[in-house]
Chains A and B, each alone.
Chain A
Amino acid sequence: TQLLEQSPQFLSIQEGENLTVYCNSSSVFSSLQWYRQEPGEGPVLLVTVVTGGEVKKLKRLTFQFGDARKDSSLHITAAQPGDTGLYLCAGARNFNKFYFGSGTKLNVKP
């Protein structure tokens, strides 16, 4: 059962473009986290959102948690080649168990 669906699976864009990645579920989560993973490495946490409707900004990255705490989005403004990587969302019902999405592989071309 896919608890968390991420879309798109793959995204290839030119430097300077904006993009949005989505993380959707039919389940309610107490918190949702976004990670970035480089090949052969462990995921690195970007942000945690816990409140329905919450918006967090991290430089050119904007994260939003849905009002019902079932979905989230990651928006990148003016993407750069350094943003290339695998972006993962993970939802938690408590902090003992995390469900990961299948990821969005982003490629930003110079």
Chain B
Amino acid sequence: EPEVTQTPSHQVTQMGQEVILRCVPISNHLYFYWYRQILGQKVEFLVSFYNNEISEKSEIFDDQFSVERPDGSNFTLKIRSTKLEDSAMYFCASRREAGSGSTDTQYFGPGTRLTVL
């Protein structure tokens, strides 16, 4: 069964460093998302992406964050200068198409645990 994959599974970085989190969405999916989940807290929406541009972003997704689909398979989240409070689990998700169909499913990857020291 196709699945969303994410690398690395765990990233440790120093405060102020840039990190790139990588995701490979399911191949025929068109809509991509990044979420984060700080330990013990709820899942928070960061950004959605369609047709090579951002569809929507949250207030968390400031100038320090960027997303890119550099080729036909990868979807990346870059944090330019990491802060301690960026430590969290970051989840990528993809869906085939948007619409009112109730069978449309958002598939989540296993996540990347980012630790900022």
Q: How many pairs, one residue from A and one from B, have CB atoms within 8 Å of each other in the complex? A: 63
How many Å lie between the Cα of A31 and that of B98 in the bound state? 11
Total chain B interface residues with beta-carbon distance under 8 A? 30
Inter-subunit contact B48/A97 (CB<8 Å)? yes
Q: A95-B95, A96-B48 are in contact. Are A45 and B106 (CB under 8 A)?
A: yes
The interface residues of chain A, by DSSP majority, are classed as: strand
Residues on the A chain within 8 Å of B31, using CB: 95-96
Residues on the A chain within 8 Å of B93, using CB: 42
Residues on the B chain within 8 Å of A84, using CB: none
When C-beta atoms are compared, the residue in chain A nearest to B6 turns out to be: A42
Q: Does A33 contact B (CB under 8 A)?
A: yes
Inter-subunit contact A42/B111 (CB<8 Å)? yes
Binding site for A on B (CB under 8 A): 4, 31, 33, 35, 41-45, 48, 50, 55-56, 58, 91, 93, 95, 98-100, 102-111
Binding site for B on A (CB under 8 A): 30-31, 33, 37, 40-45, 48-50, 56, 88, 90, 94-103
